Structure 1
Amino acid sequence: MAPLSNPPAPGIFQPRPVRVSQLPHYRNRQQNESTFDRTLGTVQLIWHAICDTFYDFASMSKIHGMYYLQRQVTSGFARLLWIAIIVGFFAFGTVLIYLLWQKFIDSPTRMTIASEMKIVQVPFPGITLCHPQSVVDYKAERFVEKIKLPLGATKESVLKTLPSLGYFTEHQWTFPRPQDLRMIDQVLQLNNYTIELAIDELGMICEDFILVCYWAGKKFPCFAKHAFLGWIGSTSHYGACCSFNYHPNVRGSKEPFVANTYGMHGGLSVIGTGYPQASDGKSGALYSEGFMVGYERRLIIPVHGANVISLSNKLMIHHPHDFAVEASPLTLIRLRKETFVNVLPTDSRCSEQVLALPQNQRDCIVGSDFNPPIANYRQPACTLQCLRNEVHRKCGCHPFHLPLPTDRGPGQRVRNCTVYDSMCFVENYYMFKRLKCNCLPSCSDVTYKTASIVSDFSAYNFSINPFYKETNLSDFEFIFHIFMSNQVVAANRRIVVVSWISLLSNLGGAFSLCLGISVLSLFEVLFFTAFRLRKMYYQRKHRKEQQIKLVAPFARLQRF
């Protein structure tokens, strides 16, 4: 019979046989268990320290709702409800702060109507008048009679293709034929003509359609060599034009011309004519296979090589130092009509606080933003330079209707465009129209808007003004008046809406609205997080070490 083995008594150490090869494994296992126990103990200490710090903060803080998160105040569902409420309002306050910050970054300023200024404090606008016809038929017929023709060209073929000179501007809407462009190029080269000279000889120059000029009720020579009162030849996106009070190359702080009169007859009054180009039956700005609309009689006359023509002169109002760009206010001046153009200037400036802001916040530019600084920054000049650079890059030449750049050296000059280069303009027409230029407005500027009234020649029979006695006012003439109707103009000022002081006030108001938090509450949170939590952790660690020192001897005695 096998001897019965008695079970070991509890608490008595029973040795187990272990192989020598297993000793390192048991040693590593005991070390891992002790390391895990120490790590777990440290994590528990940190967690309990965080809990103690939180409950301590909840009992002392003045943040709304923290009272209900104390140990003995709420529990269960009530505590979860208050946690959800506090977290929700904290998120709401954070969203408000984000929106306030975005407002501070995106639009820290606003424009206000500060006061009114006298009209003598703002410049009288520059005026650019463009004839609708780039090539006039009766001039084209005279032109082909005196020029040399290249081999294989006839007067009829050259006469038909001369309107190709208008493809650089807004005067052409049909796609050009390359052979026609090459023919006109050969004609101009053979006769030593540039495109600009050919346009001047084939189109309408200022002396052809501007007859009588009055300023403030007094007659003056339309083309006198006067510093301000006089018409000069110019260009725009409509081609060859005429301009009044236009000084694009002003350097420094030269003051432009101002008007001390107002009212309908207190500005510029002009009588112009459309004769004979409006009555020749074939002239037109747009040429293609189609029809021509007869002036006033609305007759549809089939004409080979003519399309619907525009019988309105284009009048653009702009700053005297600006080139007339597409953004300039446009008024159509029609034959046998009297047009009254009321100019409404607006003076815009910025306060010193706005000028102190970075450029991306004030949304305007001053001369000191450039390196080196410039005296006169103009937004239309920036837009024009952007378009000109894109044309140079895309087509590799400079068109006649854009001003030449003044800041390029001899080695950076771009060749003048030939007629054949207009093919590039036609192919990239809509790309040039969609071109986006990063041109902010000037921080100190005068802009213009217009309001026009058109009437028939009714004042001729009722007015005693000698202006109307200058002509018999035939069906081929037109009149326009450009004036300022008021003695004062609007003066806008851009001021700072959201400064650092108001931003801090708004941020404090947002959290005060949601949780009753002030700046002092933020320092409380920092204090409890940085100092109180550390103190709680070491207190708990010290208590645990004291417990281990007390419990260890009793445990050894029990095992003994």
Structure 2
Amino acid sequence: METKFGNDESPPRKNSFFKNVRTYFREYCNCTSIHGFQYFGEKRTIFERIWWIIIFLICLIACISAIYGVYRKWEGSPVIVNFANQGTPIYQIPFPAITICPESKSFQPVFSYTRTMQKMLSNASVTPAEHTTFEYMSLICKYQDKLNSSYSKPDIFPDDFFETVHKIKPQLLLYNCMYLGNTDTCSRFFIPIMTDEGVCYTFNMLDRGEIYNDNVVQFRNYQRAPRNMSNWSVEQGYAADAGLFPYPARALFAGAVNGLSFNIITPKTYLDFACRKSSLQGYKVILHSPMRIPRPSQQYFRVPLDQSVVGAVQPVMISTSDKVQMYNPKRRGCYFPSERRLKLFKIYTSLNCKLECLTNFTLRTCGCVNFFMPRDNETRICGTGKITCMRNAENFMQIKDLHRKLSKKDFKRADDCDCLPICTDVTYDVETSQTDWDWKKSYSAHLLKPTNDSHLSSLTIFFKSDNFVTSERNELYGPIDFLANFGGLLGLFTGFSVLSLMEILYFLSIRMICNNRLYGYWAGPEM
């Protein structure tokens, strides 16, 4: 009795398994579209086979090396920063927040650091209130080494520290204050704020309730904005219905007449030369984003006495396309606000994050925090006995962060700040020019009697142009781009394609099954 196997009447083969595999592989070599494989299946000399194997391996190694290079580029630099296609008008961003810090850190008629220090140096009588106030002011002024014996140097200050500093805070006497060409009362423009330079005054900054979390201790009316934030966010900018006068305020046009300008009166009796090592008097000014906590000791420009200073502002804005959001924050190099939460701040920025990180490290190292750092009810204020500890803690944080960047290590430690930039941010570059201001002659020319017991300074801040160029993070190599490079290199070196992959899968599965049904054996008929 005859048994038929499909269209082939030959019985199943009894060859060894390895011989069947070799025969099946030759059949695949004759059918595949991968370049060079057909030569592996030919019954030719051993020299020819070895030659083609070497050539194929060389091409395969070159292909893998090129693909690995493309992968490293895609993995390491998936995002590119380039310029936007069109300019951004200045009315879409806030006018910069302006923080002004007097060089004299106390109101001299109430408390003079110089007079108290002279009393202590001459062993004159100093009241307990003066001594306590002098101790408190030593956190704001430079520590006087030659007065070490006169310091009690407590490690912790009570909350009365803020009440005392508030009572003797320096005065900011402004007049002829103009914004957008309109004259208004300067007191409603500038609000007191506690910084690392002591009590300063800020303009166009967000209210503290919109920056700090509810667990942060607040003091009196400091950093209380005249209005709440309206229809603005750093990602979306101003809403269409924000109007011409939202908060934070925005400039409508460029030019000095459309900026902020004011004069500062400084009575000679307000000057204090002992609080700082530098004998320079006047004011430190810092321009920053309305949602950022300023640190005037690190970045500022000066407004000296009896001089007129003009600052031309050029915004620097960077945005991020939606396509980049799919990447890991480490790969794109920035955080979206919803991705990073802070314990002390409602709004994430890189500088707010670094301030919180420094606060936490100072608390762990010294058991307390500096007076300008945000804190909760259970956190204590460091006294003069912890000045060295606080200074060393900040220096250590800076060196550690620099060492991590130079070593280019990607691993994350528990004490790392992880303060990447925010994906959409705006900063303000300012070009300043200043000149001596003989304001007394100007007063005399207008038949006004100038005073001889005061100094006068002037500051004007404005945008340089109506538009500026925005930078944007875009996708450099997306998944489709990487796949195209991957497939192009495989095709160039080996002729491999998606159909080639399907051929391999076909010979390893479907063809074996069908051979078994047609011929009774997975390797099929003898070729």
- Same fold per TM (> 0.5)? yes
Deviation (angstroms), 1:67: 4.2
1:123 corresponds to 2:94: yes
Corresponding residue for residue 204 of structure 1: 170
Corresponding residue for residue 100 of structure 1: 70
Deviation (angstroms), 1:213: 2.5
Deviation (angstroms), 1:46: 5.5
CA distance in structure 1 between the partners assigned to 2:49 and 2:388 by the alignment: 77
Deviation (angstroms), 1:265: 3.1
1:269 corresponds to 2:266: no
> Which letter does structure 2 place at the counterpart of 1:127?
I
More helix by percentage: 1
Higher relative contact order (CA 8 A, sep 6+): 2
CA distance in structure 2 between the partners assigned to 1:390 and 1:377 by the alignment: 18
Equivalent of residue 417 in structure 1, options 357, 382, 387:
382
Deviation (angstroms), 1:245: 1.3
SS of residue in 2 equivalent to 1:182: coil
Corresponding residue for residue 140 of structure 1: 112
CA distance in structure 2 between the partners assigned to 1:531 and 1:82 by the alignment: 29
Equivalent of residue 42 in structure 2, options 45, 63, 71:
71
* Conservation of the 8 A alpha-carbon contact between 2:153 and 2:384: no
**Closer, same or farther: CA 253–496 of 1 in aligned 2, 3 Å:** farther
- Give the CA RMSD over aligned residues: 4.7
Corresponding residue for residue 520 of structure 1: 499
**Closer, same or farther: CA 211–285 of 1 in aligned 2, 3 Å:** farther
Corresponding residue for residue 486 of structure 2: 507
* Conservation of the 8 A alpha-carbon contact between 2:133 and 2:164: no
> Which letter does structure 1 place at the counterpart of 2:422?
S
CA distance in structure 2 between the partners assigned to 1:72 and 1:185 by the alignment: 90
Q: Which runs of 5 or more residues in structure 2 are unaligned?
A: 1-14, 211-227, 233-247, 402-416
Corresponding residue for residue 425 of structure 2: 445
1:193-233 superposed Cα distances (whole Å, 9 cap, x missing partner): 833344455663434xx45533234433322xx3xxx1122
> Which letter does structure 1 place at the counterpart of 2:283?
N
SS of residue in 2 equivalent to 1:115: coil
Equivalent of residue 320 in structure 1, options 277, 290, 308:
290
Deviation (angstroms), 1:241: 1.8
Deviation (angstroms), 1:357: 4.4
Corresponding residue for residue 204 of structure 2: 245
> Which letter does structure 1 place at the counterpart of 2:463?
M
Larger Rg: 1
- Within 5 Å, give how 1:473-552 maps onto structure 2: 476-529=455-508
Corresponding residue for residue 274 of structure 2: 283
SS of residue in 2 equivalent to 1:111: strand
Corresponding residue for residue 349 of structure 1: 319
- Within 5 Å, give how 1:337-416 maps onto structure 2: 337-369=307-339, 376-404=347-375, 413-416=378-381
- Percent identity for Structure 1 against Structure 2: 21
* Conservation of the 8 A alpha-carbon contact between 2:439 and 2:456: no
Corresponding residue for residue 39 of structure 1: none
SS of residue in 1 equivalent to 2:35: coil
CA distance in structure 2 between the partners assigned to 1:422 and 1:318 by the alignment: 27
CA distance in structure 2 between the partners assigned to 1:337 and 1:496 by the alignment: 48
CA distance in structure 2 between the partners assigned to 1:167 and 1:525 by the alignment: 78
* Conservation of the 8 A alpha-carbon contact between 2:96 and 2:289: yes
CA distance in structure 2 between the partners assigned to 1:330 and 1:319 by the alignment: 14
* Conservation of the 8 A alpha-carbon contact between 1:316 and 1:328: no
CA distance in structure 1 between the partners assigned to 2:45 and 2:139 by the alignment: 81
Compute the TM-score of the two structures, normalised by the length of structure 2. Answer: 0.69
* Conservation of the 8 A alpha-carbon contact between 1:167 and 1:425: no
CA distance in structure 2 between the partners assigned to 1:473 and 1:63 by the alignment: 94
Corresponding residue for residue 7 of structure 1: none
1:363-416 superposed Cα distances (whole Å, 9 cap, x missing partner): 4333433689997433333222222222222222232212345xxxx6xx2123
Deviation (angstroms), 1:483: 0.9
SS of residue in 1 equivalent to 2:470: strand
SS of residue in 1 equivalent to 2:258: coil
1:465-522 superposed Cα distances (whole Å, 9 cap, x missing partner): 99xx997899954322111111123334433333332232222122123222111112
CA distance in structure 1 between the partners assigned to 2:164 and 2:511 by the alignment: 88
CA distance in structure 2 between the partners assigned to 1:414 and 1:325 by the alignment: 21
Deviation (angstroms), 1:70: 4.2
More divergent stretch after superposition (376-385 vs 263-272): 376-385
Alignment coverage as a number of residue pairs: 452
CA distance in structure 2 between the partners assigned to 1:125 and 1:53 by the alignment: 75
**Closer, same or farther: CA 471–488 of 1 in aligned 2, 3 Å:** farther
CA distance in structure 2 between the partners assigned to 1:453 and 1:488 by the alignment: 22
1:260 corresponds to 2:252: yes
SS of residue in 1 equivalent to 2:434: strand
SS of residue in 1 equivalent to 2:419: coil
Deviation (angstroms), 1:318: 0.9
**Closer, same or farther: CA 60–67 of 1 in aligned 2, 3 Å:** same
> Which letter does structure 1 place at the counterpart of 2:261?
S
Compute the TM-score of the two structures, normalised by the length of structure 1. Answer: 0.66
